[in-house]
Structure 1
Amino acid sequence: MDNGRRIFGCSKQSQWFRDTFCDLEIAIGRLTKENAYQIIDKEVDLSKCGSKGLLFIPHLASAGSPRNNENARGVLFGLSFNHTKADIARAVMEGICLEIKDMIKAEEKAGIKIEQLRIAGGGTKSKIWNQIQADVYGRPVQTVQTSENASLGVAMLAGIGVGIFKDIYEAAENMIHVTGEYQPNSENKKVYDELYEIYDSVYQGITEKGAYNKIVNLQNNI
């Protein structure tokens, strides 16, 4: 991380989706020696920006910063007979990005200027997901060489500790290597801006009515 940039990694929700709903893709992958995520990407490519108006709120294990709600749970909103599995898969990708956009907006509200984003982790192998992120955030998104972010962070701090680098910014410049860049599509951004407003409205509505607390109480007692 350096001035004007942030690094984000994709979350475990995509793994949950694969393991829960994609037995067929996993089986095909075993036969073809292809990664199941690559097969899912091909399905996602059949769906369009906005997933036909399907919204996924990815709070499967509470909502972290900036909402900080331990009782928040996942939501699939707008589902209709018109939606396909490809739409749901794309909505999962988009929903995870909307959650990260929440974090970005909170930092901006706090006065932190972010001009560029770097994304890391296994999810960056998906070109379609990388582009979705650029479109949702409305900023250039860069991929970086390593997927072992924790190890990289330790190595950077060790380099500072032994005097190789003077600070975290110098360590980042020398140890974080950019491998690709995705520019936001302005038309897609308009769709995602609208989807984010719906995301916020759905979350606020559920929270204000106390439905998250009620569903967690039910989950804990059945």
Structure 2
Amino acid sequence: MYVIGIDLGTQSLKGLLVDINGKIIMEANCAHDPVYPYPAWAEQVVADWIHSFKKVVHELIQKSGVAPEEIGTIGMDAINDSIVVIDHEGNPMMNSIIWLDRRAETEIKTIEKKISSERVFEITGLNLDSSHTAAKMLWVKKHHPEIYEKCKNILNVDSFMVHWMTGESVVDYAQASASMLYNVTDKCWDAEMAKVFDIDPQLLGRIGKPEEVCGHLTEQAAKELGLTTKTKVIIGTGDEHSACVGSGLVKPGMVCDITGTAEPVAAVADKPVFDKIGNLVETHHHADARWWLIENPGFVSGGSTRWFRDNIMRYDNYDIMNVMAATSPVGSNGVIFLPCMQGAMTPTWNGNARGTFTGLTLNNNFDDLARAVFEGIAFGLRDNVDRFEEIGMDCSNVRIVGGSTKSPLWCQMKADLLGKPMTATKSAEGAAIGAAMLASVAEGNFKDLDEAAEAMVELGATYEPDVQKKASYDEAYGRYKECYAAMELFFDKCYS
């Protein structure tokens, strides 16, 4: 039977129709944009996601000619650290508060009076940070008690879409591990954290493996999608976790640079690994339930390049931005861009951080600014790879998946900056491929994710580092680190 893999991202929803052998038969996508009602807030109209989902599934079926009854399983991944509050009929009660949102900074300060950040990290593997879902849930409870008291669930986005399809309230280990309500070592909801936040973690649903079939399409969902109630639905996972699966990271000793709206950097481990140097990287579960994922959410990556393209350059495509950036030398003629457009997760976790250009002179031009945007984001990658190595992780095998695979300039820049070879996946749609891999295992098309990876993960170009550029990149990286350290004092003074 065929499967459908769906990747619900910040700016679009992408779908793949995949046959029994793992071959992609058809692709489709539909754009949607978040809304930013106030500074540091970020939301999504939930109906936009449902519209995108239905449009993509209809297009996959209609253009492929595959009969609806031949769709065996749907696999869904979606953005992390985002919540959808639903009533007892499954209807959204407010806009989704998405991962870019930082409105819960005050709530985090309240929690800090109850429990130390060190204890939170020990239990959950996470920083006590407003980006995580428990903080957003607490904000809803405090500011909209009339909604909180009447809701059925507060779900992750993939969990909401699964509920819309099946009526089931479920969450996988990976998404649960990003909540601050989960014990990352014991793989269960944590009573101490639930008490600290005064939130019942069961609001997020029952925990299971992402490839577990949790139900079939309801009659209503099947009708709206143009499918049948024979189609099964798996629990699914987060987009960065799915991207790791889709890039072939299904065993320890591998690192993945995931370039979407954000740029998570993740490494696979066979046991929980905690960053005791400075909590830069967090400890999550992998979408492959055998492993853990040591990762950092990174800077706003594709979100920053899009912002620069749309608001500064005002051109329609990224090709011109790449051409401009290639004209500027390593170090962008002294210009530094800090991509902290919605706070920072690297080189420190700081919700007060803001995006900045510094080092401008009358000699600088668009070429320098364009390159500074690419370099600033790449510096965040180095922050995290350096930390992985400092805590003893193997970073010799680094893969790039996502939008930056379409930019050889950016890929080469990262390889030169790290001084390591980097291999890009052939397809930019790593997360959707990961969702399809999970669905294929559930359907029985492959016995496990290892077999699915052998069949479905295709690698593209490998970028070897130019050793002659390493010294220049080291100098530029040092300036970036000093700039951030100096600006962090200003951020905390003016935006806290």
- TM-score, normalised via structure 1 length: 0.82
Q: Please list, as runs of the form range in 1=range in 2, the aligned pairs for 1:98-109 lying within 5 A after superposition.
A: 98-109=379-390
Q: 1:165 and 1:54 mapped to 2: Cα distance?
A: 51
1:20 is matched with: 311
Work out whether residues 347 and 380 of structure 2, in 8 Å CA contact, stay in contact via their aligned partners in 1: no
| TM-superposition CA deviations, 1:79-126 (whole Å, max 9, x none) | 112211101100100111001111112222221110132112222211
Work out whether residues 57 and 99 of structure 1, in 8 Å CA contact, stay in contact via their aligned partners in 2: no
Tell me the SS of whatever aligns to 1:142.
strand
Tell me the SS of whatever aligns to 1:129.
helix
2:479 is matched with: 198
Q: How many residues align?
A: 204
2:343 is matched with: 62
2:328 is matched with: 47
CA distance 1:201–1:67, change in 2 (3 Å): same
Point out the structure with the larger helix share: 1
Pick which of 194-203 and 176-185 moved more.
194-203
Q: 1:173 and 1:43 mapped to 2: Cα distance?
A: 38
Tell me if 1:5 matches 2:254: yes
Q: 1:171 and 1:213 mapped to 2: Cα distance?
A: 47
1:30 is matched with: none
Tell me the SS of whatever aligns to 1:188.
helix
2:437 is matched with: 156
The correspondence for 1:183, drawn from 464, 470, 483, is: 464
Identical counterparts, % of pairs: 35
1:220 is matched with: none
> Please, which runs of 5 or more residues in structure 2 have no aligned partner?
1-248, 260-300
Point out the structure with the larger strand share: 2
Report the residue type matching 2:257 in the other structure: F
The correspondence for 2:319, drawn from 20, 28, 38, is: 38
Q: 1:54 and 1:171 mapped to 2: Cα distance?
A: 44
Q: Which runs of 4+ in 1 moved over 3 A?
A: 158-163, 169-174
Work out whether residues 420 and 465 of structure 2, in 8 Å CA contact, stay in contact via their aligned partners in 1: yes
CA distance 1:172–1:139, change in 2 (3 Å): farther
The correspondence for 2:417, drawn from 111, 130, 136, is: 136
Q: 1:103 and 1:75 mapped to 2: Cα distance?
A: 21
Q: 1:121 and 1:46 mapped to 2: Cα distance?
A: 24
Residue 170 of structure 1: CA displacement? 4.9
Q: 2:322 and 2:409 mapped to 1: Cα distance?
A: 7
Residue 161 of structure 1: CA displacement? 4.3
Work out whether residues 121 and 149 of structure 1, in 8 Å CA contact, stay in contact via their aligned partners in 2: yes
| TM-superposition CA deviations, 1:150-172 (whole Å, max 9, x none) | 222222333444562445x5544
| More relative contact order, 1 or 2 (CA 8 Å, 6+ apart) | 1
| TM-superposition CA deviations, 1:30-88 (whole Å, max 9, x none) | xxxxxx21122221221111111222111111112562111111222211122111011
Pick which of 183-192 and 4-13 moved more.
4-13
Tell me the SS of whatever aligns to 1:4.
coil
Report the residue type matching 1:22 in the other structure: M
Work out whether residues 50 and 195 of structure 1, in 8 Å CA contact, stay in contact via their aligned partners in 2: yes
Work out whether residues 66 and 106 of structure 1, in 8 Å CA contact, stay in contact via their aligned partners in 2: no
Tell me the SS of whatever aligns to 1:119.
strand
Tell me the SS of whatever aligns to 1:200.
helix
1:213 is matched with: 492
2:58 is matched with: none
Residue 178 of structure 1: CA displacement? 0.7
1:119 is matched with: 400
1:33 is matched with: none
2:357 is matched with: 76
CA distance 1:6–1:174, change in 2 (3 Å): farther
Tell me the SS of whatever aligns to 1:9.
strand
Q: CA RMSD in A?
A: 2.0
Structure number with greater Rg is 2
